[in-house]
Amino acid sequence: MDAIMLRLIVALVFLCFCAFAQGQTPTESIAKIKQRLQASTEKPLESLQIISGTGLSYQTAQPALHNFKLPSGVLLKAELTRQHADVNGVATLTANTSQGKIRVNKRGNTSITTISTDQHRWKILSIAGESLIYDDYELPARIAEDDAIMMDPHTKSLPVKTPTKSADATSNDGTSKTFDAVILYTQATIDYYEGEDLALARIADIVDTTNEIYADSTIPLIMNLHKTFLIDYDPENKKTSFEALNEMHPESPYFGAAYAYALEAGVDYLITMRPFVSNDGYCGLARAAGMNNEPYDPEVVNISHTSISCSDFTNAHELGHNMGLAHSYKQGEEGYAFPYARGYGKQHDFVTVMAYVPSFGEQGNYPEKLYKFSSPDLDCNGSPCGINHTQIDGADAVRALSTRVDKLTEIRDLTVLKDSYVAVNSPYARIGFNGQTPTCSGICTQDFDIDTDVTVTAEPLAGFEFIKWGEQCDSISGKQCQLTTNALHGPTPELQEVYVEGVAKEVALDTDEVDIELGYFKDQWRVDEQTVNVGDYSLRSPYINENGLVSLTMKVAGKGKLKFWLKTSFGKENNLALRFLGSPIQVNGETGWTQYSFDIDREFVAITPLTIELFTDNANISGDHRFWVDGIKFIPDPDSNKPVTLRSSGAGSIEIQTEPYPTTCNNTCDLYPEPVSGTHTFAAIPEEGESFIGWGGACRGTEPECVVSADRYQHAYAYFTRSQSLLTSADIAKVLDNEELHFYPSRYSDEWQVQNDSSAGSTSLKASTQSGFASYTLKSYFEGEGRLSFDYKVQHESDIDSFYIFLNGQQVLLEGNTDGWATFSRELTEREHSIAWYVDYKTSESSNERLVAIDNVQWNGEPAPLIGARLKVMGAQGAIRVDPSYYCRNQCVIGLGGLSDIDNVTFFAEPDPYVEFVRWEGICADQDSHCKLTAGDLEDSQVTAVFQDVTYTVTASANEGGHASPQRQQVTAGTSADVTLTPLVGHQIADTWGCDGSLSERIYTTAAIFENCAVKAEFEKLEYQVSFDLGEYGERTGGGELEQIVQWGESAEVPEFSVTDGWHFAGWSQPFEDITANANISATYQEVEGAIRVELTVSDNASLSVEPLQYIKEGDSLSVTVNPDPGYRINQKVAGSCPTGEWEKNQYTIANITDDCDAKFSVTPVLKSGSLLLILATEGQ
């Protein structure tokens, strides 16, 4: 057959054009693919073109090629042979000619044809007879230098049914073995290739290319496409390959179901194939594995990401990283599985699959990318494709993979699963399928036939509440997700943890005498108000999963009994250990509230720990995965002495003034003073010229004297000034003439002091000489490239004492004695740097003749950030104490660079007396009053403690005779409150009591307030003297006394009396029904003989100011006051026989009375406005 006259005939069976995306024609679809291919490169694809009139035809009996002319001018002709069809029905047809290899991957009316010639790798994409062609070698590789990623293998929370590991093998007999792969693709992949047919054909094309590379490299490996799944991930194709690879783990909502499927089915490799993302920088990315030829972990799936629109070899390259291959010796890499397990290349000539093109050439003169793995036994353009594996620069990927074939293909046993698979990742709920009782938590899986109706039920664990199901359910009913299976499903229930915020763990545990320390996952302990045994709250442990460990330690001091309640829920197959003095006590995994009691019989040991510890390595923990603690109580032995720990810092001491054993503590003291009850009194005594700063621990505030209870363990810290006290990082920086750097002395001692001798400036830093056998350290950190220098002076016995530095971990011994100041200087390259100055005094006696001094530290590179914290006290008065060397009452900077990253640092928020801690701000936010971190957490961190005055409520109340105000007020503890007493008219203050106060005029002032209290005020009516004068015509016969005491607003009692004959009682001189002042009331009389008689009457609801019978002289006038009751008014018309008089307000005067007569007064109700309107309305009808 004439190779020059060949023409490829691929006859395509046409399907309905409406099957294409959104009704597009094949011509439009091919044009869009052409645009996407061109957009994936920075430079034009010169070979990319649409083929018109290709002449491609397909005959069922014999697919063939008839005179097809490539863009390079080569004419091909061949008969095609059917090889196989993959799981998606993509058929592979091949042909070999003298001009090159031909392969066709065909699905439906789409196909991808690959034609490999000497200088080109032609790709033809066809849809229903419309095609485009390009040279694959023109596509950029875009495999960045770090495309092999060392990732967390994510071995936790794997499916219960993970297959067992296959038998390990260390060699292969040369027979080809198959490894299985699941390939994931997205909607963006379908969109890129204008339909699923061409997208699946492209996946088959890549798999076949990978197998051709293995075959051409003589590697006995075959890649089998076990399954493909369309996943709902990044439909707009914007996430980079790095982001996608990082989400390929069991807990991922997008990839978790596929990962679980791969594990359960026993598939070895999980690959994601998506179109290249603009500006990604990666065509491929993989997790590096196969280190040191170790067997693969059967619980870890090898993962990679291939940009499907990049070069054909990308998948083989990324799988190479999974299989233990590195890039090349020239790129400075050693193979993962073996040193020689890497790629190879020849400058400007060729590179193999694993090596990078740019590393063996330059722009305009790049080498050829050959689709082979490195091997000295293979030919690459007339040269060996590798270097013998025994050489230091050996490159033989073929040997490495061939040696590891069994390990690469037998990671897990294959398991046949049904065509649909449901995986639910739910660590905080139990899952059940189709009516099963929910028991599984973590990653729960089940395989089903296609088109099976499935109901997934989620029951949240204790401490969680169900919110909703995610988007992969067809319908939702409460906690149930219904779906009909078609392939891969990963519905995810959304749950929310339920707990109480703002309650300290000590409050939840009902204790203030036991120190509580939380272990791993300390930020995941929760205050629970639903599962409670004592009080309002309990403390709930973190959720624990496989290989998890959570613990809670109770620390008590002195002798006594420790009690607490414990509830567990993590399955009977697991145990919880109570560790008391190192001995474990096992607690079954499923218990109700149970009280435990331990006798602490260690009177002369300050601290005794008891730890509740839960560890499990069970893959599927039943129950609620946690435990609860409540009601912790320590009852000290009443007959034993209680330990006291005292520590003074600075120039001062603590004096214990408790009788009968007063003593003084100058540094740190652990004491057991008597008595066993009552109180201890401590006094802070500064040295001469120094001052007391404040207390910490059991004592608070700034008063020198502190009184604490003697019935429990107490620890107190006193802080004093000192002219040469423990220096801060900022202090040392000033002394050493470099305030840009941070310096860190060691903890707990006054190791470094300021001296008035300097090589530059006025002062320098010297090591303390106060004790023998001492080691002093000072550290600093800096960055970048530059020169480090410092001056030093040494005077000591060099054969015994030593002074040296560690610079970037390298020890440098400095001269034993110097004549004046010496200088150390060193040029340093770009990196992070550290220096530590060490002074070792090895003699037992302290000596003032010793001297190690440092000065003038200079660095012209970049300073490192502060390793430490900036402390700030806000609100009311209080302090931040740090573990316990540092004490801050305002704003302070502390350096902690002298510690290792794992050293613990505890910040204590300690309010002054009558002040309370409110909250932390900064890095300690959401923690209790003591915040425990590691030094590694602290880098120029802000630690702010907010305090507020303790306040109490003072209420005030009074009876109906007056007011006490304010009725409620908040009073700062230790201060007094004023209550103003205001009597009503006619009243006076009778008595006031409460809150131990005193009254001054109308202000009642309480004593100092230390608890809520109430002020009570009692008022009484004023009293008045009322005197009745009966005159010469009256004589008392009974009734009211002539001298009476009458309360304000009350009426005096009228006396009963007789009147002398011939005289008539006419009335009283003034009314006495509403007494509001002292009153003298006289009786008035009228002579009857010869007088005119006037009778007065008044209707109900009114009264008269005079007696109803009056006697007057002829021609005199008579004035009468009418007093209507409330709600009534006087009727101005007066009836009777008396002459008409005149009204002045409510007084009626009858003038010139000449004969007996009578006058009749009346009153009428006062009408309201509504009544008047009603009358008017009625009249208008």
3-state SS of 761-798 is CCCEEEECCCCCCEEEEEEEEEEEEEEEEEEEEEECCC
CB 875 within 8 A of CB 948: yes
Residue 156 has pLDDT above 50, yes or no: no
Alpha-carbon distance 271 to 229, whole Å?
Answer: 10
Percentage of residues in the chain having pLDDT higher than 70: 88
- Top pLDDT among 585 and 256 is at 256
- For residues 124 and 115, is the Cβ–Cβ distance under 8 A? yes
Architecture of domain 420-497: Sandwich (2.60)
Six-digit token pair at 789? 């220098």
Q: Using CA atoms in the order 706, 708, 710, 713, what is the torsion angle rounded to 10 degrees?
A: -110
Name 274's bridge partners: 307
Average pLDDT, the chain: 86
Please say if the pLDDT value at position 729 is more than 90: no
The architecture CATH gives domain 865-949: Sandwich (2.60)
Q: What is the pLDDT of residue 171?
A: 45
Structure tokens at 492: 């995810």
- Helices 314-322 and 196-216, packing angle to 10 deg: 60
Please tell me the predicted confidence (pLDDT) of residue 391: 95
What would the two tokens of residue 523 be? 């930020």
* Window from 303-307, 466-470, 607-611 with minimum mean pLDDT: 607-611
pLDDT tens-place string over residues 1105-1141: 899 999 999 999 999 999 999 999 999 999 999 999 9
Taking 90 as the threshold, does the pLDDT of residue 75 lie above it? no
Least confident segment among 125-134, 806-815, 1001-1010, 1062-1071: 806-815
List phi, psi (to 5°) of 936.
-65, -20
Q: Could you tell me the pTM of the whole model?
A: 0.62
Enter the DSSP assignment of 642. Answer: P
Beta bridge partners of 576: 587, 614
pLDDT tens, position by position, 767-816: 876 555 677 888 899 999 999 999 998 876 655 677 888 888 788 888 76
Residue 779: strand, helix, or coil:
strand
Query: Has domain 507-636 been given CATH number 3.20.20.100?
Result: no
DSSP string, 607-628: -EEEEEEEEE--SS--TTSEEE
Query: What kind and span of H or E run contains 320?
Result: helix 314-322
Domain 726-864, CATH class in plain words: mainly beta
Q: How many CA atoms lie within 13 Å of 470's alpha carbon, on the beta-carbon side?
A: 14
Return the pLDDT at 80.
87
Residue 1180 reports pLDDT greater than 50: no
The pLDDT, as a whole number, for residue 166 is 44
Contact call for residues 168 and 409 (beta carbons, < 8 A)? no
Distance between CA atoms of 758 and 854, rounded to whole angstroms?
9
Q: Using one digit for the tens of pLDDT, what is the confidence trace for 210-219?
A: 999 999 999 9
Helix (H) or strand (E) holding 756: none
Do 979 and 1015 touch, CB atoms closer than 8 A? yes
Q: Is residue 22 predicted with pLDDT exceeding 60?
A: no
d(CA 329, CA 321): 15
Share of residues in the chain with pLDDT > 90 (%):
56
Rounded to 5 degrees, what are φ and ψ at 321? -65, -40
Return the number of other C-beta atoms located less than 10 Å from residue 1014's C-beta.
13
887, amino acid identity: Y
Helices (H) and strands (E) in the chain — how many of each?
11, 90
Instruction: Determine the average pLDDT of the residues in 346-355.
Output: 96
Strands (DSSP E) contained in 6-149 are 7-9, 49-51, 64-69, 75-79, 81-85, 91-97, 100-107, 110-116, 121-127, 130-135, 148-149
537-546, 625-634, 823-832, 840-849: least confident range: 840-849
Closest to 182 in 3D by CA, of 109, 118, 267: 267
Amino acid at 278: S
**Cβ neighbours, 10 Å, residue 1179:** 7
Give the dihedral sign, CA 471/473/474/475.
negative
Most confident of 372-376, 843-847, 1151-1155: 372-376
3-state SS string for 408-473: HHCCECCCCCCCEEEEEEEEEEEEEECCCCCCEEEEEEEEECCCCEEEEEEEECCCEEEEEECCCC
More confident residue, 159 or 236: 236
Largest CA distance in the chain: 174
Decide if 736 contacts 837 (C-beta within 8 A). Answer: no
Run of H or E including 213: helix 196-216
pLDDT at site 364? 80
Arithmetic mean of pLDDT, 959-972: 95
Contacts of 932 (CB under 8 A, 6+ apart): 517, 522, 904, 905, 906, 907
**Residue ranges per domain, the chain?**
26-138, 177-337+398-409, 420-497, 507-636, 644-721, 726-864, 865-949, 951-1021
Distance in angstroms (rounded) separating the CA atoms of residues 326 and 333: 6
What does the alpha-carbon distance between residue 272 and residue 263 come to, in Å, rounded to a whole number?
A: 16
Tell me the C-alpha distance between 440 and 160, whole Å.
9
What Å distances lie between residue 304 and 234, 272, 547, CA to CA?
17, 7, 27
Q: What's the pLDDT tens digit per position in 439-450?
A: 888 889 999 999
pLDDT of residue 469 exceeding 90, the answer is yes
Q: Which of 27-36, 64-73, 920-929, 936-945 bottoms out in mean pLDDT, i.e. has the lowest? A: 64-73
**pLDDT score at 965:** 96
The sheet carrying 886-888 orders its strands as: 886-888, 878-882, 904-911, 930-934
Distance of CA 980 to the CA centre of its chain: 49
- DSSP per residue, 925-966: TT--SEEEEEGGG-SSEEEEEEEEE-EEEEEEEE-TTEEEE-
State the first-to-last Cα distance of the chain, in angstroms, to the nearest integer.
125
State how far the alpha carbon of 448 is from the alpha carbons of 158, 513, 1015, in Å: 20, 58, 77
pLDDT band at 994, cuts 50/70/90? very high
177-194 tens-digit pLDDT: 999 999 999 999 999 999
Tokens linked to 448: 């089903």
Please classify residue 962 by burial: count the beta carbons closer than 10 Å to its beta carbon, then call 0-12 exposed, 13-18 middle and 19+ buried. buried
Are 373 and 352 in contact by the 8 Å Cβ rule? The answer is yes
Comparing 420-497 with 865-949, is the CATH topology the same? yes
Give the three-class secondary structure for 207: helix
Q: Band of the pLDDT at 76, cuts 50, 70, 90?
A: confident
**pLDDT at 571 (0 to 100):** 67
Q: Could you tell me the fold of the domain covering 177-337+398-409?
A: Collagenase (Catalytic Domain) (3.40.390)
What is the SS3 assignment for 714?
Answer: strand
Confidence tier at 54 by pLDDT (50, 70, 90)? low
Whether residue 846 is predicted with pLDDT greater than 70 in this model: the reply is no
CB atoms within 10 A of CB 703: 14
Neighbours of 999 (CB within 10 A): 15
- 8 A C-beta contact, residue 886 and residue 921: no
Which of 11-25, 378-392, 857-871, 1142-1156 has the least mean pLDDT? 11-25
Higher-confidence residue: 605 or 889? 889
pLDDT band at 575 (very low <50, low <70, confident <90, very high): low
Given its phi and psi angles, is residue 842 left (phi above 0), alpha (psi -120 to 50 degrees) or beta?
alpha
- Asked if the model's pLDDT at residue 1173 lies above 60, the reply is no
Average pLDDT over residues 487-512: 88
pLDDT at position 1033 over 50: yes
Question: Tens of pLDDT along 410-433?
Answer: 999 999 999 999 999 888 899 999
Band of residue 145 on the pLDDT scale cut at 50, 70, 90: very low
Mean pLDDT confidence for 562-585: 77
The pLDDT assigned to 15 comes to: 32
Torsion of CA 90, 95, 100, 106, to 10 degrees: -20
**For residue 730, what is the enclosing H or E element?**
helix 729-735
Residues 6+ apart with CB under 8 A from 847: 769, 772
DSSP secondary structure letter of residue 203: H
Quote the CA–CA distance of 325 and 343 in Å, as a whole number.
8
Q: What is the pLDDT of residues 741-775, one digit of tens each?
A: 988 887 544 678 888 888 887 889 888 765 556 77
- Residue 78: pLDDT above 90? no
CA 850 vs. chain centroid, Å, equals 52
Q: Tokens representing 672?
A: 């057991």
DSSP state letter for 405: H
Give the pLDDT score at 1025: 97
How distant is the alpha carbon of residue 665 from its chain centre? 42
Q: Residue 1172 above 60 pLDDT? A: no
